[in-house]
Amino acid sequence: MDKQTAKIVARRKLEDRIFNALGIFCTLVALSTLALLLGDLLVTGLSRIDWQFLTSFPSRKAERSGILSSWVGSLVVMCVTGCTAVPLGIAAGVYMEEYGRKGRINTIIEVNIANLAGVPSIIYGLMALGIFVYYLGLGQSVLAGGLTLAVLILPIVIVSTREALRTVPVQIREAAYALGASKWQVISHHLLRYSLGGISTGVIIAISRAIGETAPLITIGALTFIAFLPTSPLAEPFPEHLTDWLHSPFAVLPIQMFNWTSRPTEDFHRNAAAAGIILIAVTLSLNAVAIFVRHRVRRHIKW
Amino acid sequence: MPPCKAEVKKLSFFYGTMQALHQIDLPLADKHVTALVGPSGCGKSTLLRCFNRIHDLYPNTRYDGEIILYPSGANIVDKSIDPIEMRMRIGMVFQKPNPFPKSIFENVAYGLRLKGITNKTELKDRVEVALTSTAIWEEIKDRLNKSAYELSGGQQQRLCIARAVAAEPEMLLMDEPCSALDPIASAKIEDLIRELRKKYAVLIVTHNMQQASRASDYTAFMYLGRLVEFGTTTDIFTNPKSKETEDYVTGRFG
C-alpha cells in the first residue's frame, strides 16, 4: 500500500470513529434524559401508589386523595374512542386502499389525512367543543370526550390500516381472485386477516396516544375534580341506565395529574407523580402488547 | 387437430394506450398441453392472463376480440361475462408458488369453499383427491393442519396446483410454473403436467425450451405481441416455418 492510500484509509477510519462517538453521545443524551425523568417520577411517586390511591376519589387532603374517578374516566372514554375510531378507521382505510379509484381526489384525501395526523390536538378540542358539545348537544360528557379523541386518532388508524394492507403481496391477492373470490371475499378472507398484526399495532399505538391526551379534553370541559363514578350500565332497574354512563361528566388521568401539579403543596405533587407513573405504565404496557402482537403475527406470516 | 377447449380469435389487449397483444388467433386443444414461448415482454403472460380476466383487477386495461370457451361458446373477455364465474371455471398457477398463509388443508379447500361447499366430509374427500392428483398427498397427509409455508418451494407449487384443480376447473393456466424451482422440483411439476392433460386443457407459459418440447403437445411462438407461429410441438422444434421461430427455439436469440 503506498503512502497516499494509507493516508486516505487512516482518514476514513478516523471519520468513522468520530461519527460513531457522536452517535453514541446523542443516543446517551436521549436515553439519560428519559431515565432521569422516569427516575425522578419513581422516587417522588412510587411510595404513594397503594390500594387506597387506586380506590379513592380526589380530595382536598392529599393523603386521602386517589385516582378512582380518573382511571375509570380514562377507561370509559377509551371505550367510546376505541369503539368508534377502530371500525371507522379500518373501514375508511380499506375503502381508500381497495375500493377508491386511484386518482387525483384519492391523492388529495390521502395527503390531507396524513396532514390531519399532524394537527395540534388542541385544534381537535376546539372543533369538538363546537360540534360535539354545543351543536350536537352532547355536553361535557364521556361521549363527547370519547368522540373527540376518536377523531384525533382516526388518521393514525386509517394510515396504519392502509400501510398494513399494502404489505400483502400482489401474488396473494391474485391467487385469491384467480380462484373466483369476489373483492369483499379477498378483503375479508385474506387481506384483513394477514394485515391484522399491522392494523392492531396501529390501533394500540393510537389508543396509547389518546390515553395521554389532555388538551382537547380540557378544551371541551372535562372536569378536574370529580367525586363520583358514571352510573353502571347494569344498574337496577336493568335496561334503564344502560347508556347513562355515556352522558356522565368525567375526568381522565392526565387531567387529574395536571390538576395536582398545579397545587402549591409538596404532597399533591407526590400524588401527581404517582398518577404519572400509572399513566406511563399503562402506555408502555400497551406498546409492549403492540410489539408482542406484531411479532406473533410475523411468526406465522412471512412474505 | 383434436376438439378445441377454447379458441382465441383476433384478440388484442391494451394497457392504457399501449397495445400489448395484436390480433392473436390461437386454438387450444382439449386434453392437451399448449405451450406459449417467446422472449421476455413478448406478451405470453399477458395472453395467458386474459383467459381468467385477471387483468380486470387493474385499471385502464382493455380487451378487443374474443376468447371462446367450448362447449358453452361463451366469450371469456366479453364485458357481459362475470369474471368471477370465469375464474371459477378456469384455474391458474402462478410463476412463484403463492400459497395463502393458512394451513395446507385450507389452501386446497379455499376454492371449494368459494363454490359454496361447506360439508366437512365432502371438503375432506375433495382435498384428498386434489392432493393425490398432484402427487403430494403421501408427503403431506400427516400435516394437513400445518402452515403451507412449512413446505419446500416445489411442494408449495404442487400445493398451488392442487388448489387450482380442487374445484375441478375446465381448463388450467400455468404462468412459468417452474421458474422459481430447482431442476428436481421442476421435473416433478413436468410429470404432473403430463398427468393433468388427461383431464384438462393446459395452457403453459415457459421460458425453458426443453420444458416446452418435453411437456407440451402444441407450441405457439410469440414475438412483440404477435403470434408468429403455431403448430405441434414437434413441428415447431424440428421444422419451424419462420426464421424468427427457428432462431428462438434453437437458442440463437431471446
pLDDT digits (tens, 9 = 90+) for B195-247: 899 999 999 999 889 899 999 999 999 999 999 999 999 999 999 999 989 99
Q: Indicate the range of A240-249, B2-11, B55-64, B192-201 predicted with least confidence.
A: A240-249
User: Hey, is the C-beta of B150 within 8 angstroms of any chain A C-beta?
Assistant: no
Q: What is the mean pLDDT of residues A138-147?
A: 92
**B226 in a structural domain:** yes
**How far apart, in Å, are the Cα atoms of B175 and each of A166, A269, B97?**
24, 70, 11
Mean pLDDT in residue range B52-78:
92
Query: Into how many domains does chain B fold?
Result: 1
Model pLDDT for residues A266-282, shown as the tens digit of each residue: 889 999 999 999 999 99
The range of the structural domain enclosing residue B239 comes to 4-96+169-249
Q: What does the alpha-carbon distance between residue B226 and residue B245 come to, in Å, rounded to a whole number?
A: 12
User: Is B164 part of the contact surface with chain A (CB cutoff 8 Å)?
Assistant: yes
- Return the DSSP state at B32: S
Contacts of residue B249, Cβ cutoff 8 Å, sequence gap at least 6: B37, B209, B221, B236, B237, B240
Q: What is the span of the domain harbouring residue A42?
A: 3-46
Tell me: do A119 and A13 sit in the same domain: no
Count of domains observed in chain A:
2
- B-chain CB neighbours of A164 within 8 Å are none
- What is the mean pLDDT of the segment spanning A167-182? 94
Residue B231 lies in a domain: yes
- Residue A154, CB half-sphere, CA atoms under 13 Å: how many? 22
A274 and A171, same structural domain? yes
Distance in angstroms (rounded) separating the CA atoms of residues A69 and B92: 60
Going across the sheet that includes B171-175, the strands are B90-93, B171-175, B201-205, B33-37, B218-223, B226-232
Q: What is the CATH number of the domain that holds A222?
A: 1.10.3720.10
Alpha carbons within 13 angstroms on the beta-carbon side of residue A234 total 0
Q: Which of A30, A46, A62 is the last residue of a domain?
A: A46
Residue percentage of chain B with pLDDT more than 90: 78
Say whether A179 and B96 touch across the interface (CB within 8 A): no
Asked if pLDDT for residue B151 goes beyond 60, the answer is yes
CA distance A41 to A279: 11
- Check whether residue A68 and residue A178 sit in a common domain: yes
One domain, residues A208 and A97 = yes
Q: What is the mean pLDDT of residues B153-170?
A: 93
Lowest mean per-residue pLDDT among A166-180, A220-234, A282-296: A220-234
- Alpha-carbon distance B134 to B85, whole Å? 24
pLDDT of residue A64 exceeding 90: no
pLDDT of residue A158 exceeding 70, the answer is yes
In a domain, residue B209? The reply is yes
- Which B residues 36-65 touch A at CB under 8 Å? 52, 54, 57, 59
Looking at the predicted structure, is the pLDDT value of residue A226 above 90? Answer: no
Q: Which of B51, B57, B106 to mutate to test the interface with A (most CBs of A within 10 A)?
A: B57
Domain assignment present for residue B160? The answer is no
pLDDT tens across A85-104, in order?
999 999 999 999 988 877 78
Which of B46, B108, B114 to probe by mutation at the A interface, max A CB count within 10 Å?
A: B114
User: Do A237 and A286 fall within a single domain?
Assistant: yes
Nearest Cβ partner for A181 among B94, B99, B114: B114
Bridge-based pairing of strands B61-69 and B4-15 is antiparallel
Interface contact flag, A178 B164, Cβ < 8 Å: yes
Q: Residue A117's pLDDT band (boundaries 50, 70, 90)?
A: confident
- CA B10 – CA B25 distance, rounded (Å): 5
Would the pLDDT of B254 be above 70? no
A224 lies in the same domain as A272: yes
Question: How near does any CA of chain B get to the CA of A165, in Å?
Answer: 15
B94: pLDDT strictly greater than 60 = yes
pLDDT band at A234 (very low <50, low <70, confident <90, very high): confident
Asked whether residue B35 is assigned to any structural domain, the reply reads yes
How far, in Å, CA of A168 to CA of A182, rounded?
A: 17
In the numeric block, which cell numbers belong to residue B49?
A: 392472463
Per-residue model confidence (pLDDT) at position A22: 96
Residue B52 corresponds to which amino acid? N
Does residue A53 surpass a pLDDT of 70? yes
Nearest CA-CA distance, residue B55 and chain A, Å: 10
pLDDT (average), residues B34-54 = 93
| Interface-testing mutation among B110, B115, B149, with chain A (most A C-beta atoms within 10 A) | B110
Strand order from edge to edge, sheet including B4-15: B18-29, B4-15, B61-69, B74-75
Residues A222, A96 within the same domain: yes
Distance CA(A259)–CA(A271), nearest Å, equals 10
Cα–chain-centroid distance for residue B99? 16
**Predicted-complex ipTM score:** 0.93
Higher-scoring residue by pLDDT: A243, A129: A129
User: Is any Cβ of chain A less than 8 angstroms from the Cβ of B84?
Assistant: yes
Q: Per-residue pLDDT tens for B101-132?
A: 999 999 999 999 999 999 999 999 999 999 99
Q: How far apart are CA B74 and CA B81, in angstroms?
A: 8
> Is some CB atom of chain A closer than 8 A to the CB atom of B197?
no
- B75 falls within a domain: yes
pLDDT digits (tens, 9 = 90+) for B164-185: 999 899 999 999 999 888 888 8
CATH number of the domain encompassing residue B32: 3.40.50.300
Share of chain A above pLDDT 70, in %: 99
